[in-house]
Amino acid sequence: GESVGLHLPTLSVQEGDNSIINCAYSNSASDYFIWYKQESGKGPQFIIDIRSNMDKRQGQRVTVLLNKTVKHLSLQIAATQPGDSAVYFCAENYGGATNKLIFGTGTLLAVQP
């Protein structure tokens, strides 16, 4: 799911399959990364985070992978469910005194029953 044009990239998966959502971040000095889920008409909600001194972190049904060499994050959702349908954003925290939080473009996950 890379950002192109003005429309969100879409990932369509079958219920029960695993989903992988990708994100490229911009600042090599960013030290903290977060994945958010946004359902229609709502504000973003926290899913999982990872610090820059880690390359993998697991939660319940979700795993985040961080590759600092190529400034890439991925979110893996196991056994995708209809309730997982939403827009997913990665965010990077520039850290230090600035604490500036910048979002990526987002990916629409559509789960087919």
Partner 1 sequence: NAGVTQTPKFQVLKTGQSMTLQCAQDMNHNSMYWYRQDPGMGLRLIYYSASEGTTDKGEVPNGYNVSRLNKREFSLRLESAAPSQTSVYFCASSEGDGGWTEAFFGQGTRLTVV
What is the smallest separation between the CB atom of 36 and partner 1, expressed in angstroms?
Answer: 8
Residue closer to partner 1, measured from CB, 17 or 46: 46
Residue closer to partner 1, measured from CB, 96 or 113: 96
What is the smallest separation between the CB atom of 82 and partner 1, expressed in angstroms?
Answer: 21
What is the smallest separation between the CB atom of 21 and partner 1, expressed in angstroms?
Answer: 13
What is the smallest separation between the CB atom of 41 and partner 1, expressed in angstroms?
Answer: 8
Terminal CA-CA length for the chain: 21
Which runs of E-coded beta strand occur in the chain? 10-14, 19-24, 32-38, 45-51, 56-58, 62-67, 72-77, 86-93, 101-103, 107-112
Q: How far apart are CA 64 and CA 76, in angstroms?
A: 6
Q: How far apart are CA 111 and CA 113, in angstroms?
A: 6
Q: Count other C-beta atoms under 10 Å from residue 4's C-beta.
A: 9
Residue closer to partner 1, measured from CB, 79 or 110: 110
- The site for partner 1 (CB under 8 A) is made up of 3, 6-8, 31-32, 34, 42-46, 49, 51, 89, 91, 93, 95-106
